[in-house]
């Protein structure tokens, strides 16, 4: 869980039993639960940190 910094990129992830899946959504829905459940505040904080660098 959390994020990794690779150069100027950050990768966010959560531990899930379905990872890695390589699908374009869950159960044919075209919506990935793993992306929809990411904490918006953590994403926002990281964007602000990156813009400040």
Per-residue pLDDT at 53:
75
- pLDDT for res 1: 57
**If DSSP codes are grouped into helix, strand and coil, which group holds residue 25?**
coil
pTM of this structure: 0.62
Which pLDDT score is estimated for 41?
93
Could you read off the pLDDT tens digit of each residue along the chain, which spans 53 residues? Answer: 567 777 888 888 788 898 888 899 999 999 999 889 888 998 899 899 889 87
Q: Where are the domains of the chain?
A: 2-52
Torsion of CA 17, 21, 26, 27, to 10 degrees: -100
């Amino acid at each position: 869980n959390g994020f990794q910094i690779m150069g100027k990129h950050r990768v966010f992830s959560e531990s899930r039993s379905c990872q890695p899946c390589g699908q374009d959504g869950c159960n044919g829905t075209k919506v990935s639960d793993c992306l929809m459940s990411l904490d918006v505040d953590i994403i926002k904080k990281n964007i602000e940190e990156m813009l400040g660098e």
